[in-house]
Amino acid sequence: MNISIFGLGYVGCVGSVCFVELGHDVTGVDVSQTKVDLINAGRPTIIERDIEELTRKAHASGRLRATTDAREAVLATDISFIAVGTPSSDKGHLNLDYIYEVAAQIGRALRHKDTFHVIAIRSTVMPGTNQKVGEIIERESGKTVGKDFAVVSNPEFLREGTSVHDFMNPPLTLVGADNERAAALMLELYKDLPAEFILTDIRVAEIMKYVNNTFHALKIVFGNEVGAICKELGIDSHKVMDIFCRDRQLNISPYYFKPGFAYGGSCLPKDTRALRSLAADLYVDVPVISHIEASNERHKRRALYLIVEQGKRNVGILGLSFKAGTDDLRCSPIVEVVEALLGKGFAISIYDKNVEVSRLTGTNREFIMSKIPHLQHFVTDDLDKVMEASDVIVVTNREAEFADLPARYPGKIFVDLVRAWNELDYDGHYEGLAWSTINTNPAQEGAVEKEYRKSAF
Quick one: pLDDT at residue 456? 53
Beta-strand relationship, 149-153 and 117-121: parallel
Give the bridge partners for 197, in sequence order. Answer: 173
Quick one: pLDDT at residue 138? 98
Report the alpha-carbon angle 251-257-258, nearest 5: 150
331 counts as catalytic: no
Q: Is the Cβ–Cβ distance between 6 and 27 less than 8 Å?
A: no
Quick one: pLDDT at residue 357? 64
pLDDT beneath 70: ranges in the chain: 357-360, 363-364, 453-457
Residue (of 392, 379, 305, 311) closest to 349 by Cα position: 379
Quick one: pLDDT at residue 360? 64
SS3 readout for the chain: CEEEEECCCHHHHHHHHHHHHCCCEEEEECCCHHHHHHHHCCCCCCCCCCHHHHHHHHHHCCCEEEECCHHHHHHCCCEEEECCCCCECCCCCECCHHHHHHHHHHHHHHCCCCCCEEEEECCCCCCCHHHHHHHHHHHHHCCCECCCEEEEECCCCCCCCCHHHHHHCCCEEEEECCCHHHHHHHHHHCCCCCCEEEEECHHHHHHHHHHHHHHHHHHHHHHHHHHHHHHHHCCCHHHHHHHHHHCCCCCCCCCCCCCCCCCCCCCHHHHHHHHHHHHHHCCCCCHHHHCHHHHHHHHHHHHHHHHHHCCCCEEEEECCCCCCCCCCCCCCHHHHHHHHHHHCCCEEEEECCCCCHHHCCHHHHHHHHHHCCCHHHCEECCHHHHHHHCCEEEECCCCHHHCCHHHHCCCCEEEECCCCCCCECCCCEEEECCCCCCECCHHHHCCCCCCCCCCCC
Query: How many angstroms separate the CA atoms of 108 and 111, rounded?
Result: 5
Query: How many angstroms separate the CA atoms of 178 and 182, rounded?
Result: 8
How confident is the prediction for the chain on average, in pLDDT? 92
Catalytic residue among 18, 245, 267, 331: 267
Quick one: pLDDT at residue 247? 94
Report the alpha-carbon angle 67-190-170, nearest 5: 100
Long-range contacts of 243-250 (CB under 8 A, 24+ apart): none
Quick one: pLDDT at residue 455? 55
Query: Taking the CA of residue 308 as centre, how many other CA atoms within 13 Å lie in the half-sphere pointing to its CB?
Result: 19
pLDDT digits (tens, 9 = 90+) for 264-302: 887 888 889 999 999 999 999 999 999 999 999 999 999
Query: How many angstroms separate the CA atoms of 240 and 244, rounded?
Result: 6
Phi, psi of 33 (to 5 degrees): -65, -35
Quick one: pLDDT at residue 306? 95
Q: Is the Cβ–Cβ distance between 85 and 32 less than 8 Å?
A: no
Report the alpha-carbon angle 293-362-322, nearest 5: 40
Q: Is the Cβ–Cβ distance between 433 and 302 less than 8 Å?
A: yes
Query: How many angstroms separate the CA atoms of 64 and 49, rounded?
Result: 19
Query: How many angstroms separate the CA atoms of 395 and 431, rounded?
Result: 10
Where do the domains of the chain lie, and which CATH numbers do they carry?
2-200 (3.40.50.720), 297-445 (3.40.50.720)
pLDDT digits (tens, 9 = 90+) for 340-364: 999 999 999 999 887 776 566 776 6
Query: How many angstroms separate the CA atoms of 181 and 147, rounded?
Result: 10
Torsion of CA 194, 199, 205, 209, to 10 degrees: -10
pTM: 0.85
